[in-house]
Amino acid sequence: MAITSGFSGFPAKTGGSIQIPNLFFSDLLPQIDDLGELKVTIYCFWAVQQREGDYRYVTGRDMRADALFMAGLGKNLASAEAALTAGLERATARGTLLHAVAAGDDLYFINTARGRKAIAALEKGDWTPGPGGQPVGLIVERPNIFTLYEQNIGPLTPMLSEMLRDTEATYPADWIVESIAIAVAQNKRAWRYVEAILRRWATEGKPDAAPKATSGEEHPYLQDEYYRRHDDE
């Protein structure tokens, strides 16, 4: 069973926004009938607006290098690549994106006045893309510890909230996420098990790869003296 992170809602400060024309919702969105095309289209709107300069575009190389984006397109690299290729072809054929090839890479522009101007300048030789600069990429924001607790263990209480704040201040965020995942995988949905894992890592050092239970066996961490003691409570 996988850990549930879900979506905890937009924070008060979202770290910026992008502009999508009203026509996208009234004219374009009703026509899009493929999920891959929709994801690619929205991603391109976002990625192009992360660029600076008169001519803004996103490259095929940049999209393929964005691991988080690609992970949302398919279960494995082959299926993600196929979805990306199909999505780009559909969006280009529909006229949402403008496609050009330069410097050995595929360039994609949003079909706006600015995008059409860039394509015209490229075709006339008035402009040539330089080095790609810093690639854009999606950034993972880890779920809040309170959200993780409620979605994977149970309802919060005032006392638990204080404990969670202390835990968040004491241990790295990735430790907390991984320890909850271990407890969930073993159907040990109790905070005491999560705490025991964290204490053990802090005392003995966190291994690069957490030990795994074989079929039908209890997870090695759950054989720890901490767990045995808590089970007697």
Token pair belonging to 155: 């309802």
- Average pLDDT of every residue of the chain: 83
Confidence (pLDDT) at 59: 93
Quick one: average pLDDT of 208-228?
A: 53
CATH number of 22-124: 1.10.10
- Residue 105 pairs with which residues in a beta bridge? 102
Query: Which CATH number is correct for 145-231, 1.20.120, 1.10.3470, 1.10.287, 1.10.10?
Result: 1.10.10
Distance in angstroms (rounded) separating the CA atoms of residues 17 and 135: 18
Distance in angstroms (rounded) separating the CA atoms of residues 225 and 171: 21
Residue 74 has pLDDT above 80, yes or no: yes
pTM of the model: 0.62
Domains 22-124 and 145-231 share a fold: yes
Q: What are the strands of the beta sheet with 105-110, ordered from one edge?
A: 58-59, 105-110, 97-102
Listed by start position, the domains of the chain span 22-124, 145-231
